[in-house]
Amino acid sequence: MYRHSFGARRAIHGLWAPLLVCMSLSPVQADECPDWTPTQADQALEALQTQVSEWDDAYYRRGERLVEDSVYDQARSRLTAWQTCFDVPATPLARSSSEETIVHPVAQTGLAKLDEPQALANWVERRLQDGLWVQPKVDGVAVTLVYEDGRLTAAISRGDGHRGQDWLSHAERIVTIPQQLPADSPPRVILQGELYHRRPGHIQAEHGSDGARSAIIGLMARHELDAVSANDIGLFVWDWPSGPKPMQARLTALESWGFADSARLTRPVTGMDDVTRWRQHWYRGQLPFATDGVVIRQNTRPEPVDWQPEPPYWAVAWKHPAQRSLAMVRDIDFRIGRTGTITPVLQLHPTRLDDRTIRRVSLGSLDQWQEWDVRPGDQIMIRLAGLTIPQLAEVLIRAEPRPELDAPDSDRYHPLSCLRLTTGCEAQFLARLAWLSDNEGLDMAGIGEGTWQRLIDAGLIEGLLDWQALTPTQLEALPGVGEARATQWHASFQASRHRSLTRWLKALGMPPVDERILINADGYLDLSELRSRNRHDWRQHPGIGTTTAERLVAFFAEPEIVSLLSRLVRPTTLQ
């Protein structure tokens, strides 16, 4: 197996660095820094900063989301961690300043994201006595609404949390935003919520966000909002900062004012199990909007005057399982299989995808790797194929300079290569032995790849059938192999002698065919007759095409195969 690495990793030192990195990275990535030269660090930081800035510019200035939130969050977290590692000043988040802004009457706080279940469970446990509630985390844009004497007088985009754009003219055309509250409402009401693109019957697990946030950003960025577009916008109120202290009292009032979804979709929870259940329910069930997780809130919170435009201690987000994830390539293994197929496998620094930790991604073939041109140090986006298998989706940032790789020569490996253990054949030869002893081959009980590796390491095997001559004494002499195991291995070796010829042919790598076509006209399986068949003879049988026929001819003509079979069998009837 060929392997290529890009840098070990070193620990982050200092008082604040571990705290900053642990807040932004999962435990599998925390506490580590790339072991780079100053030049490598500068190049990697510049490349990642350029990519994040491009995403920021598209999102904040043009209203376009070029990448999923989970990938963006990972990229910005990684950038922050690397800046800490190499003592580079943090880069401020880009914000649009093309329009005049107005002050929020109560700061928009934002939310911290806890993606690790244990960290979230600890957060929940510490706050259970105060009472906890869970809501869908609507995938839209935050807004502040101000009502004075019951009338809507202001609608403000989130902006930087202190100031935002004036959206009142748009809000006055959105039918889901009440223009007038009931007469018994307080003289001044400040609501915070999310404007979203209406999607009745949306199932997040099936449809994903599907551009929902980009759609609402685009609508709210228009100079004028027409009535048809306004009807596509919904509102979910997730807080009433100046409302009653108990959550239930706030929800009751909101429902009476026409914000029914706020009451229906804000649910009390008594522990982590409840939070998990609602997260799954909203992820796989129907909602009128796209979501990207859930929000857990305390029953009570501080007075509005104390709110700041930063993640509060009384609320936290738990994102849905990431469908795409940012990963950094650590190594590339080129695995050579039994038939000579070369499979490049990307070894990754651990990353989370669909609530799982992913450490490797297969590229399938050498041609695919050459097409992608992935190298150690590259930052890639991965996704799930068929809901279970991680696959490469995109190479986002390429390491510079490009690391040199010594990939195996595809011309050297084929279905009949490495029938003996020679230099460069270690992987394919071991794969042949593992196949030979597997239940598809000779079905040797207790014999697997680890067994064969021990025998190879001890210098006892160089050919596919050398194990037949091994004695219990030789096996017992191997490190860690006692009398009982040596006896069991030897018994498995001896039992294999009684397998049928068809099993032996399959174990030695004969292309798969219907066993009935191996029988000659007299009802026997005769090796001499099989070796005499040409491509035309093989193609007379159903299911045998040109490629299979050529492989069968080559298999029975291969001198090493002929030699191996001559040690095993005589003409015999098919078992």
- Predicted local confidence at residue 63, as pLDDT: 56
pTM: 0.68
229 lies in a domain? yes
- Residue-wise pLDDT tens digits, 476-531: 999 989 999 999 999 999 999 889 999 999 999 999 999 899 988 888 888 999 99
**The domain spanning residue 484 has which CATH number?**
1.10.150.20
521 lies in a domain? yes
Per-residue pLDDT at 19 exceeds 60:
no
Catalytically active residues are 137
- Residue-wise pLDDT tens digits, 243-283: 999 999 999 999 999 999 999 999 999 999 999 999 999 99
**The domain spanning residue 151 has which CATH number?**
3.30.470.30
Beta-strand relationship, 315-319 and 112-113: parallel
Contact 241, 268 (CB under 8 A): no
Per-residue pLDDT at 335 exceeds 80:
yes
What DSSP designation does 91 have? Answer: P
Shared domain check, 564 and 455: yes
Shared domain check, 149 and 36: no
- Least confident segment among 22-36, 297-311, 379-393, 481-495: 22-36
342 lies in a domain? no
Three-state SS for 500-511 is CHHHHHHHCCCC
Last residue of a domain, one of 307, 337, 358: 307
Shared domain check, 110 and 79: no
The single-letter code of the amino acid at 282 is W
Shared domain check, 160 and 265: yes
- Residue-wise pLDDT tens digits, 33-91: 888 888 888 888 888 888 888 888 777 666 567 777 778 878 888 888 888 888 888 76
To which H or E segment does residue 488 belong?
helix 483-495
Q: Which domain holds residue 149?
A: 101-114+132-307
Shared domain check, 46 and 106: no
Residues 192/198/199/200 CA torsion (nearest 10 deg):
90
- Predicted local confidence at residue 478, as pLDDT: 93
Last residue of a domain, one of 307, 335, 364: 307
Shared domain check, 279 and 168: yes
What DSSP designation does 352 have? Answer: E
313 lies in a domain? no
Longest Cα–Cα distance of the chain, Å, equals: 102
203 lies in a domain? yes
Shared domain check, 171 and 139: yes
Per-residue pLDDT at 571 exceeds 70:
no
- Residue-wise pLDDT tens digits, 138-160: 999 999 999 999 999 999 999 98
On average, the pLDDT of the chain sits at 87
Contact 96, 225 (CB under 8 A): no
Q: Which residues pair with 132 in a beta bridge?
A: 269, 298
233 lies in a domain? yes
Shared domain check, 175 and 41: no
Q: What is the mean pLDDT of residues 300-323?
A: 92
The single-letter code of the amino acid at 64 is E
Report the domain count for the chain.
Answer: 3
Shared domain check, 276 and 218: yes
Q: Which long-range contacts (CB under 8 A, 24 or more apart) does 282-288 make?
A: 282/136, 282/204, 283/204, 283/205, 283/320, 283/321, 284/203, 284/204, 284/205, 285/203, 286/201, 286/202, 286/203, 287/136, 287/202, 287/203, 287/204, 288/198, 288/199, 288/200, 288/201, 288/202, 288/234, 288/261
393 lies in a domain? no
Give the pair of three-digit tokens for residue 382. 């991965």
Q: What is the mean pLDDT of residues 209-220?
A: 85
- Predicted local confidence at residue 569, as pLDDT: 52
- Predicted local confidence at residue 387, as pLDDT: 62
Is 101 in a helix, a strand, or coil?
A: strand
Shared domain check, 247 and 150: yes
Last residue of a domain, one of 273, 307, 341: 307
Per-residue pLDDT at 210 exceeds 70:
yes
56 lies in a domain? yes
Shared domain check, 108 and 15: no
The C-alpha atoms of residue 48 and residue 400 are separated, in whole angstroms, by: 12
Shared domain check, 32 and 154: no
